[in-house]
Structure 1
Amino acid sequence: MDRHQMDVLEHAVDAALSALSAAACAGAVSVGSSEHWMVAVRDGRAEQVDAGTNRGIRITAWTDGNRTATVTSADLAPAAVSAAAARAAELAAACDADPWGGLAPIERCGQAQVALDLDDANGFAAFSVEDGIKRLIDAERAARAADPRIATIHRSRCSSRRGTGLFATTHGIRQRETATRFGLSVSAVADAAGEKHLGWDATAARHLEDLRRPDQVGSEAGRRAVEGYGWRRPPTGRWPVVFRRETASELLDTVTSAVWGAAVFRGQSFLADAVGTRITAPAVTIIDDPLLRRGLGSRDSDGEGVRAAPLLVVANGVLRSFLVDGEAARRLRHPYTGHAGGTSNVRLLPGTDSLDVLLEKLGTGLLATRFHGHGVDLAAGTISKGVDGFWVESGRIAYPVQEATLAGDLREILHGIRAIGDDPETETTTSSPSLLIDGCTVAGEAGGKNR
């Protein structure tokens, strides 16, 4: 972003703050501008190209009595911004009072003074649509070479984005952040013996140099497309399950949803009264670290200007904190945690067991590699999802599994974590290593056994 573009953002913020002050309102202003491109390739040819620049401003006003309203606009001209801020103040005056709204305490606001290294300006400038097409062609070629049963590439995409955001409040907070993000994904389709299977893989990074090679992504997509051939339903019963890191990360995402402040104060979480109690196995520690260098979810402050800091969510199985924005902090009388806008980099800390060791400890049971559907009831604390994977006997993979269901009580599942792997996901904002868990019900073929 050049100096002129930055001046446009700065002047927009100034105009909004001035108009809010003139209306005797407190308020917060977020303004951003980003450049991006995305290219999709199929069978070696560009199928779709999307490129452009997005700009916008969001103005929230609070009047006396904590009446609030928000106005957004794509027009950053000072006159248009001033009019939008005046409109926000006018609307706020007509609204009912919101006892839970307001600016974050100024003593909690600021930017963490840590070198997060989120902006790869040189990589963004050098990486062109043509470069993206070449990478996708290389990835497609690798996917097809992975196995002769790969019939087609369902979808392959590459993207590049750079954006700058400013945040300011009428009580003197002013912050700025610039970040980049690059991505590449491939979906391969295997077609043989009357069966079709889809395999997918992706890479994402803040810096271009941190993306995995296209041939690695393509080869993995091809491998995943064929791993389900010869599938069967597993025996029905209670079995130990190894959640491979992909499905373990989905389970971790369910936990973070259950400790989300809004879910708690709305009575929609089975963990609403659980702070200070053991919610999972003693070996489990979960953190949310917004200060991870080059992290996909890293930031120096949250969406309300609260200074970012690592948060210990679960320590040795005990829930230490909910994840709250300003409203949830007030409603729950909970310390601010800097979560306006969502989580950052949630991590379940890894153990020392390789996936092979986890399978040996499993003995006989299910290796879950993919979930289907949205079968989680956070209020009741239950899960019931379609699952793919592999049946394991005596610590060795016996055959692929499909058309199965994994179900159970989330409390029992979390307490049933018996071993933690050493293989956390690295290219995601919610990361868990593989987990060996007792206490799951697997539904497949009739006539199974309990264990």
Structure 2
Amino acid sequence: MTNGQIKVQSRAADELNVAEEVSKLEEVGERLIKQALAKGASQVEVGVSKDLGLSVQVRNQQVETLEYNRDNSFGLTVYFGQKKGIATTSDLTPEGLDLAVDAACNIAKYTQPDPCSGLADKSLMASQSIDLKLDIPMGITAEKAQALAKECELAGTSEEKVSQSEGASFSSHRNIRFYANSHGFSAAIPSTRHSLSCVLIAEDEQGMQRDYWYSVARDASLLESAESIGKKAATRVAARLGGKKLSTQKAPVLMIPEVARGLVGNLCSAIQGSSIYRKSSFLIDSLNQQVFPKFVQIQEKPHIVGGLASAWFDNEGVATKEQFIVENGDLQTFLLGSYSARRLNMQPTGHAGGVHNLHLATMDIEFNEMIKKMDKGLIVTDVMGHGINLVTGDYSRGASGFWVENGEIQHFVQEITIASNLKTMFRDLVAIGNDIDYRSSHLTGSWLLAEMTIAGQNG
């Protein structure tokens, strides 16, 4: 939508009567479960997601887009013994939901039985709701959203060396996730998510550089200020000027938290149930084995108040719990929903739908101290591409960052590739810094790795 077409609304974009909406969802869930059971289903589950909010993007102090959204998604799964049928729809009218029930039941009748299909055991259902304070609407209006984005961009473009803006964005969304099944479980988690970001460009005789900064939180009062975000984006992009080439070599690598948390994501992908039972993981035989050095502790904390991935039940209604994924360097568990647990003859771990707030214990070492500890090597600030093979663990990605010698940053480098194997990278982790990045559900500081292959200009 162009600026001339915008009709500004003063009404808050996140207005929602949560209690009323949840009550409606509970009624719909109960009716549909009864309806499917009456058609012969032995088990039924219902999942609904309702989302509303707005997003705005400005560029050169002009509003480029202003979008309001109100989305509904509905999923129904029925089981006729070991036969499974799924139907999804965005039509939540009684007629649309009736059609979904009929479709799911008809599909199930023609599928092959799977002995591992079915709901998670009733004994595993979450029984105690927990107020995690995830739903904190800010009463955002279009005017407020535009003002925040403009303030953020102006703070960035006012800084020296910034040549132009690629825009600043603000978004605020409110969601209700509802789940119910024929075990009698029925619950909803309302939540909010607010974010503000800025992307800037700097230029010198060697060309243009682009960088950004952003902040995200459940509670908008915990966002970094618009001015701070713009200035950080400017500082980051200015630091990329004056880059030099780098020759191919092997050297220590220091990954900043935004990059390091990607390695945590790789770990999660490698130990999720589907990767294990399909034998498509380099960690298939690593349960209760040492994967990291002894100092590494990775703990799941699903009940953090206001956490970006907090939840008291998973996507199957199974109770979440605080647990170690890695303790003293040893892998403690795979990430299992009910299906993968049955395939592996194990118990579900509360991970249907993913993990909930992984927290890596850090060492008492600042980022600058880690640079000095590395002495000579590469700080990786960005990675690109998808060169990760989870079957073998081979890791190869395009990267950019800063070259370090004598414990001091020398210059920016780009157009390089970093390569190793995830098993080796995990095993040879030297240190985890205390500079935790809280803008993710994978809470970690910087990672100092003993050595990687860096392919540069003669690679």
| Secondary structure of the corresponding residue to residue 75 of structure 2 | strand
| TM-score for the superposition, normalised by structure 2 | 0.93
Structure 2 Cα separation of the partners of residues 255 and 74 of structure 1: 34
Q: Out of 271, 275, 287, which is 2:287 matched to? A: 275
Paired residues of 2:418 and 2:453 also in contact (CA < 8 A): yes
**How far did 1:194 drift?**
4.1
Structure 2 counterpart of 1:170? 182
Corresponding residue SS for 2:170? strand
SS in 1 for 2:291: coil
Whether the 8 Å CA contact 2:26–2:186 is kept in 1: the answer is no
| Number of the residue aligned with 2:366 | 354
Q: Which aligned pairs between 1:237-256 and structure 2 lie closer than 5 A?
A: 237-256=249-268
SS of 1:12's equivalent?
A: helix
Summarize the alignment of residues 144-293 of structure 1 with structure 2, pairs less than 5 Å apart: 144-147=157-160, 149-293=161-305
Q: For 1:225-245, what per-residue CA distance to the aligned partner results, in whole angstroms no more than 9, with x for missing partners?
A: 121111122232221111111
State how far apart, in whole Å, the 2-side matches of 1:389 and 1:32 are. Answer: 39
Distance 2:353 2:75 in 1: 14
Q: C-alpha displacement at 1:191, in angstroms?
A: 2.2
| Aligned mate of 2:59, from 42, 45, 52 | 42
Q: Does residue 68 of structure 2 align to residue 51 of structure 1?
A: yes
Structure 1 letter corresponding to 2:428: G
CA contact (8 A) 2:204 2:242 kept: no
Q: What letter is aligned with 1:168?
A: A
1:141: which partner in 2? 154
* Distance across 2 between alignment mates of 1:55 and 1:157: 24
Alpha-carbon distance between aligned partners in 2 of 1:83 and 1:391, rounded to the nearest angstrom = 60
How far residue 293 of structure 1 moved from its aligned partner, in angstroms, is: 1.2
Aligned to 1:98: 114
Alignment correspondent of 1:108: 124
- The structure 2 residue matched to 1:363, chosen from 366, 369, 375, is 375
Structure 2 SS opposite 1:339: coil
Q: Which amino acid letter does the alignment assign opposite residue 355 of structure 1?
A: F
CA distance in 2 between partners of 1:417 and 1:340 (Å): 29
Q: CA offset at residue 33 of structure 1?
A: 2.0
Count of residue pairs brought into register by the alignment: 442
Q: Could you tell me whether the CA contact under 8 Å between 1:8 and 1:76 is conserved in 2?
A: no
Cα shift readout 1:165-206 (whole Å, capped 9, x = no counterpart): 221111211111111111111111112324111111111111
* Contact 1:275/1:321 (<8 A) preserved: yes
Deviation at 1:15, TM superposition (A): 2.2
Specify the code of the residue in structure 2 equivalent to 1:76.
L
Matched letter for residue 303 of structure 1: N
Match among 444, 451, 454 for residue 432 of structure 1: 444
1:354, 1:20 → 2: CA distance?
A: 57
**Distance (whole Å) between structure 2 residues aligned to residue 444 and residue 259 of structure 1:** 32
Q: Distance in 2 between matches of 1:215 and 1:67?
A: 56
> Which secondary structure does the structure 2 equivalent of 1:59 belong to?
strand
Distance 1:404 1:286 in 2: 30
Task: For 1:201 and 1:34, locate their aligned partners in 2 and report how far apart those are by CA, in whole Å.
Answer: 25
Q: SS at the partner of 2:53?
A: strand
Q: What secondary structure does 1:13 align onto?
A: helix
Residues 1:405 and 1:56: Cα distance change in structure 2 (over 3 Å) = closer
8 Å contact kept, 2:254–2:448: yes
| Corresponding residue SS for 1:222 | helix
1:19-98 to structure 2, matched below 5 A, reads 19-25=35-41, 26-64=43-81, 66-98=82-114
**What is residue 120 of structure 1 aligned with on the other side?**
136
- Pick from 386, 396, 400: which aligns with 1:388? 400
Give distance in 2, aligned partners of 1:47 and 1:178: 30
Shift of 1:111: 5.2
TM-score normalized with structure 1 length = 0.94
Is 1:338–2:355 an aligned residue pair? no
Distance in structure 1 (CA, Å) of the matches to 2:410 and 2:434: 23
Deviation by residue 1:302-334 (Cα, 9 ceiling, x = unmatched)? 111111112311111110111111111111123
C-alpha change, 1:393 and 1:4, in structure 2 (3 Å) is: closer
In structure 1, stretches of 5+ residues that fail to align are none
Partner SS state of residue 80, structure 1:
helix
Is the contact made by 2:256 and 2:445 (CA closer than 8 Å) also made in structure 1?
yes
Quote the Cα distance in structure 1 between the aligned partners of 2:456 and 2:51: 48
Classify the secondary structure of the residue corresponding to 2:369. Answer: helix
Instruction: After superposition, give the CA deviation of every residue in 1:95-148 in whole Å (9 maximum; x if it has no partner).
Output: 111222110111111155433110114x2xx2112111111111111111232x
Task: Give CA deviations for 1:51-98 in whole Å, capped at 9, x if unaligned.
Answer: 02112321100002x100111122223343233213211210111112
- The residue aligned with 2:420 is 408
State the alpha-carbon separation in 2 of the partners of residues 120 and 284 from structure 1.
Answer: 34
Quote the Cα distance in structure 2 between the aligned partners of 1:446 and 1:80: 61
Q: Bigger CA drift: 80-89 or 12-21?
A: 80-89
Task: Tell me the equivalent position of 1:15.
Answer: 31
Name the aligned partner's letter for residue 58 of structure 1: G
Contact 1:15–1:81 (CA under 8 A) maintained in structure 2: no
Distance in 2 (alpha carbons) for counterparts of 1:32 and 1:177: 10
Q: Which residue of 1 aligns with 2:10?
A: none
